[in-house]
Amino acid sequence: MRKIPKLTPSQALNRPLIRQAETHSEVFEEEIKTTRRLGFYIGDLGFLIAQQTTSELTDLLPICSIPFTATWLLGLINLRGN
């Protein structure tokens, strides 16, 4: 069986669907493993997430810093009082 090359999320979102069918036409349908993803854009960035992923977008809330943590950790937000 021929290996199908993996695409970056942006490549997967920007390619036409017809091209995918033409590219893999020699692969038998029963050999293709399908993984569903949800795609969306934020500005110019394209994102793919697994279909069963739970996520939420909210308004920008104040971030409370946490002392003595790594610089990449911005802090915590108060989401719904939790």
Question: Is the CB of residue 48 less than 8 Å from the CB of residue 15?
Answer: no
Per DSSP, helices labelled H in the chain are 9-14, 17-23
pLDDT tens digits, 31-71 = 666 777 788 888 888 888 887 887 777 888 899 999 999 99
List of residues 6+ apart from 36 with CB closer than 8 A: 50, 51
pLDDT tens digits, 3-33 = 777 778 778 777 765 544 445 555 555 566 6
Does 80 score more than 80 pLDDT?
yes
pTM over 0.75: no
Give the pLDDT of residue 19. 44
Give the pLDDT of residue 6. 78
73 confidence band (pLDDT: 50, 70, 90): very high
